[in-house]
Structure formats: C-alpha cells, structure tokens
Chain A
Amino acid sequence: MKKKRIYFSWLVLLWGLIFSVLSQPVNAASVDHSLEKVQKRGKLIIGTSPDYPPYEFLVNQNGKEKVVGLDIDISRKIAHDLGVKLEIKKMDFDSILVGIETGKIDMGISALSPTAKRKESVDFSQIYYKSGQYLIINKNDKNIYRDKDSFQGKTLGAQSGSIQSELLKKQMPKSSGRYLTKVSDLILALKSHKVEGVVAESAVAIAYVKNDPSLAYINGNFNLGSDHLGSAIAFAKNSPSLVQAVNKSLTTIKNEHLVSQYLADAGKYMQTTKSNHTMLHYWRYFANGVGYTLLISAVSAVFGIILGLLLAIMRLSRNRIFHDLAVAYIEFVRGSPLMVQVMFVYFGLGMIVNLPALLSGIIAVSLNSAAYVAEIIRGGINSIPQGQTEAARSLGLSERQTLQSVILPQALKNIWPALGNEFISLIKESSIVSIIGVTDLIYQLRTVQAATYKGVAPILVAMVLYFVMTFSLSRILGYFEKRMKHGN
C-alpha cells in the first residue's frame, strides 16, 4: 500500500515537471552575444542535412567525402566575410532547428523556408534564393499529370517536416501524402510507384531529373505565400548581431549575382558524382560505417555490462535507496525509446557540456543497454539457488567474494544466451545514432544513397553488412557458450 503511494507521488511529480517545462516561455530574452561568440571561437558552426542537391550534398573526392552545394558556398562566403573558419555539422533535417535552439550550431542552412511557424522558435536571415515548388514524376506519366490538381486520389511524397509537406497537406486535399526523411527515399518510392509524384523545390527537382533520365518535373502551380518563396538561414532567437552580419554577406552575394555561380559549381559536382555509381566505388563509406557501428556497439557493450552489473547489484541490495534508484533508472530507461535518449544526450546534456555526436551516441547507447543488461544479470543471479550463497557464506566468504566467485560465474553461464542477444541487438539498434550525425553504417547508407541517386543498392549492401556482423558475433558467442558448458 505504502509503496504504491510513493510511486503515485513520483508520477504526480513527473507530470508536474512535464507541465512546467511545457508552459515555460521558450525564448527568454537575453543579451545578444551571438556574433561575439563566433568571432571569439574563430569558427562558424553550421548545421545542414546534406541530402538535398544542389543546395547541399555529399561528394566522394579521392575517397574522402565532402559536403558541397549552394548553401555550403554561401556559408563559406559568410565565414570568409566574418574572418572565421567554417565547420559543417551534418545532421538530420528534423534536428537542425533543435541544434540551433540548443546552441549546437550557430546557424542552420539547409534550404530552409522561413515560415511563420518556424519563426516562433528561430530567427531568419533575409531570403537568399527564391525558387518555385515543383513536382517530380516518372517520365512515362508526363502526359497524365499537368500540375497539382491532376493528382486527385493519388498518393504523393514529401520530405517530413518540410515546407513541401505543408503544401501537400494544405493545397492538395484530395491527394494523400507519404512523408519520409530523405529525398532519396522519396525518389525511390516514386520509381517503385509507391507514390505518383514528389513535391520538391524547383532546384532540387531539376537536379534529380538531370541525373536520372527516367524522371521528369512539372511546375506544381502551388499558391505560395510571400514567406514561402525561397530559402533563408535560421539562427537562435535574439541574435540580431549575427543575423545582421550574415545579411550583409547575403546582400553582397545578391548584388554580385554569386548564387548562379554557386549553382553552376554544384552542377559540376553533380556531374562527377554521376560518373561512378557502383557500390564498390563507395566501399570506403561502408567500411567507415561498419567501423563506427562496431566501435559504438563494442564500447557500449563493455560499459553496458559494467553499469548493468552495478545496477543489478543495487537493485538486489537490501539498501532501500540503492534499490529504488536502480528500479527508477531501469524502468525509466526501458520506458522511453532509444531514439529520444540519443537526442536527449546530444541536445539536452549538450546544453551543459559540449559533447561530440559520437560520444553522445556512445553514452546514450551504453546507458540504454545498461538497463537491459541489469535486468538480465538480475535474472541470472536470482536463478542461482539460495543454497549456493548459504554454503559460501558458511565457509567464511564475504558477500562480495560470494558474488564474485560463486554466484556470478554460475549466473553468467545461465544468462550468456540472453546477453548475446543483447549484444546482437546493440549492433542493430545503435543505428539510431545516425540521427545526430554519427557516421555509422546507417548514416553512410544515407550518404551513399544521396551521392549515387540509388535507393536499393546501398540498402542491400548495408543489410548484408549488418547480417555479417551479427552472424559472426552470434557464432563467436556460440563458441564461448559451448566452452562454458563443462561438466553437464
């Protein structure tokens, strides 16, 4: 009864916390140090989602990947004007605004349209490029579709969270929408007729069509509000000094007609990326991805076991505080998705200490795995008969020695298969760190998709690589399992 009441008051407290956070004004006014900060650091950090040619995309130059495109050239010019170096942080499109709000990046430049809704959470520069909204279709359908109104009853695709998704929802009410994170996935959906068209910015549409003869584009004839027209750079709220400095550069760019030059450069890169689209050409990307995936999994497995053991012992201890702490931790971690935890460590903790993406990913995956390992170990310890402990203690072994020499060795044997499963799922689930820009296998798969305009082939390669990793691991674990089965 009493225990229940304690849990209940905890729940009330948590809900209270949630509401107080939600009701807080997001942007507390503060003194503007934005420009000063960049200059002091000597580095302008930008966030971008490089899957959107010609604005930003990845190219493979002598085996090294490089972000290029209109937005990157503009950023380079801005950094040059500010007299600082440029650092590019690759991240998911959905994460860019969060990155700005949490101070991970100074500005977000990713073909962002300055919508009224976005203006609630970030400030924008002046518009640096205007383009229309087009529809990418299969070339064979060119005679069927004229503009947005000819898609009644059909399914169309758009990038989730993008302005195009808004257009699709609001201005094509008779069509249904499918929303994916990556344009490359949308193109794939189009080619496999999962969708009949993809809403995309004109520059993007042209870029894709130029690189794929089976595609075509048409003007959507959307009714575009004034603020819908074009792209701007996003900044943290209340950073007028930086916005002004950037606007100055943008004005120069406009006056000197630099955008068309930048776009031409981007086009050239797209020519080179087109030249070699075999998967073998990108083996370095995949190898790199496998390396990071293994690194994250291995480090997380080690820390997961250490921390999990600690949590299991805490949960089994007679000390109420230790026990409750462990239970709360385990329940909480198991009760929220790994994805949210990864974002929390990177963006949330990132506001206090500046953690690089890779470290954030490893921390989040380790902390997550620890909760699951703790429960496996606890189950293992409980599966050892009480008589074993009594016999050990009657010989004079301390509680610790008993655990170390008698209980854990036996428990390990019992839980080995379950632990093995946990390690294998670690390899698969660590893929979630790609959302904060850790260059693991999934991330590299996205990169190769964007660079090659190929959807399926990179997926296949990644799938096989994941399988090779998990299967090898399960073989290794099986070998040790057999070796532990002595005497039975």
Chain B
Amino acid sequence: MATNLLEVKHLSQKFGDNLVLSDLNETIQAGEVVVIIGASGGGKSTFLRSLNLLNHPTSGQVLFEGQDLTTLNEKQLDHIRQKIGMVFQSYNVFPHLTVKENLKLAPKKVKKMSDEDADKLADNLLDQVGLADKAQDYPTSLSGGQQQRVAIARALAMQPEVMLFDEPTSALDPEMVGEVLKVMQKLAQEGMTMVVVTHEMTFAQEVAQQVWFMDGGKILEKGTPKQIFQHPQKERTKDFLARVRQSR
C-alpha cells in the first residue's frame, strides 16, 4: 500500500512580481524516486527548498507525513527537517570540520546522540560511500566527488525519511559524476524516497519511477522515464530534451 509521504497543495511562490511556483498540487509516495528536469530558472530549486521549508512559500500547503509544515514554528520545523535530508549542487560541506566531524555534528547536536554512537554511525556511513580512509581529513583536501559523497553521508547520518537532491552532480568534473550517482543509485535500491533535480538521463531512466518536467513554475508534464524521454507530449518538453541531448 502506498502512502503519501510528501504532498503539496496549491503551492505558490512569488518573489516580488516574479511568480516562481504557480499553484502546484503534487504527491510523492514513500519509496518513490522522482526526478525533476527543466530549464534554468524554472523553479526547481525553489520547489525543492519549499519541501523542507528552507523556503517559506507565499501560499499553499506542504504536507509531510500528513502534517502541514507551513503552520509550524521554527522549533517544530527544526524537528521535521531532521527527517528530510538535502544535498546541494555546491556540496556545502563544513570546511572547519573533519570529514567525520561533518557527519557527527548534527546527530550529536540535534539528536543528542552519544559520541560513541555517532562515531559508529559515521564510520558505517563513510564505509557505505567509500570514504572510510578520509575520515580524519578536512574537506578542502578532497575532490568534488568526494566532498559530495561526504555531503550525502552527512545527510544520511540523520536517518531521514526522504532525501532531496538539487543538481548533485552539476558542479562535478565529468569523471567524478559516476561515483556520486552510484551512491545515489544504491540508496534508491535500499528503498529511500528521493526527489532529485538532475539532467542525468541515464540515472533517471534506471532509478526513477516518475520524471517531472518543470517550466515556468508549473509541472508541465510528468510520467515514467520512458514516457517523458521517448514520447514527450508537450512542445516545450521536446525542445528542452532536444537541447539537453545536443549539449552532450
């Protein structure tokens, strides 16, 4: 039985006169992987940031496990955000902490986990993302791909219900994209609910249940990867896909 893990109702976002999200009504079910594609400025990041209320929407609701997040105060939101992991295009690892400390910070500060437990958890996760040997290094000595894997492990350390990825491989050198996607793929196979903004078609085809094409603040078209990539219905979707393919 599928349950709605995340749901948005009449979600709109205005920045001044700029309508960035326009009355979105969508659901994401537990265990599902949704890939969002679309041209720059279409509102993908804003949408993702609305799901954990890093961005407070102008109007509408964001429901997580049935609870409307827009009615919560900051303290309650901090509690919810633990369960919604997020990975950014620019990694945003903490440069003043070692790799392992990056992973341990939130479990210890937010969940009040003991140092011992946090240590075990961090070792375990670093092993999963293939960075066990970098535990004591500072992030600045790591490659982009390694930093992004640290960021993923850091989010996983809070044992989230869902992971949001905002173009996690866009800033990477091509030869490092694979190592990050591999980690994400493994995560999906383990049943993690994921919302991923990416233009990695192969990844989408192999991992996603749904692909959304976002443009002008709306989900213009959605369907299985096959439907969207091979039989797009809307002109704008076709244009966009043509452009992405050309740039390869």
B140 touches A391 (CB 8 A): no
Residues on B with C-beta less than 8 A from A395 are: 81-82, 85, 105-106, 110, 154-155, 158
Bitwise, B144-164 to A at CB < 8 A (1) or not (0) is 000000010011001000000
- What is the CA–CA distance of A72 and B34 in the complex, to the nearest angstrom? 90
- B191 part of interface (Cβ distance < 8 Å): no
Interface size in chain B (residues, C-beta < 8 A): 32
A396 touches B82 (CB 8 A): yes
A394 touches B94 (CB 8 A): no
- B203 part of interface (Cβ distance < 8 Å): no
Q: Which of B153-191 contact A (CB under 8 A)?
A: 154-155, 158
B138 touches A487 (CB 8 A): yes
A401 touches B54 (CB 8 A): no
With A388-B92, A413-B96, A487-B138 as contacts: A394 and B85 at CB distance below 8 Å: yes
The residue that A487 contacts in the complex, of B84, B139, B151, B158, with Cβ under 8 A, is B139
B81 touches A393 (CB 8 A): yes
With A387-B90, A409-B96, A413-B96 as contacts: A487 and B141 at CB distance below 8 Å: yes
- What is the CA–CA distance of A410 and B151 in the complex, to the nearest angstrom? 18
- What is the CA–CA distance of A391 and B152 in the complex, to the nearest angstrom? 11
Interface size for chain A: under 10, 10 to 19, 20 to 34, or 35 or more residues? 20 to 34
- What is the CA–CA distance of A406 and B84 in the complex, to the nearest angstrom? 19
- What is the CA–CA distance of A398 and B78 in the complex, to the nearest angstrom? 6
A405 touches B139 (CB 8 A): no
B106 touches A387 (CB 8 A): no
- What is the CA–CA distance of A357 and B154 in the complex, to the nearest angstrom? 54
B109 touches A397 (CB 8 A): yes
Residues on B with C-beta less than 8 A from A405 are: 105, 109
Residues on A with C-beta less than 8 A from B52 are: 394
- B116 part of interface (Cβ distance < 8 Å): no
A396 touches B92 (CB 8 A): no
- What is the CA–CA distance of A299 and B155 in the complex, to the nearest angstrom? 42
- A170 part of interface (Cβ distance < 8 Å): no
Residues on B with C-beta less than 8 A from A398 are: 74-75, 78
- What is the CA–CA distance of A398 and B110 in the complex, to the nearest angstrom? 8
- A256 part of interface (Cβ distance < 8 Å): no
B151 touches A396 (CB 8 A): no
A393 touches B96 (CB 8 A): no
A396 touches B95 (CB 8 A): no
Residues on B with C-beta less than 8 A from A401 are: 109-110
The residue that A391 contacts in the complex, of B49, B94, B96, B141, with Cβ under 8 A, is B94
CB distance from A481 to the nearest CB of B (A): 14
- A255 part of interface (Cβ distance < 8 Å): no
Residues of A within 8 A of B (CB): 385, 387-388, 390-399, 401, 405-406, 409-410, 413, 486-488
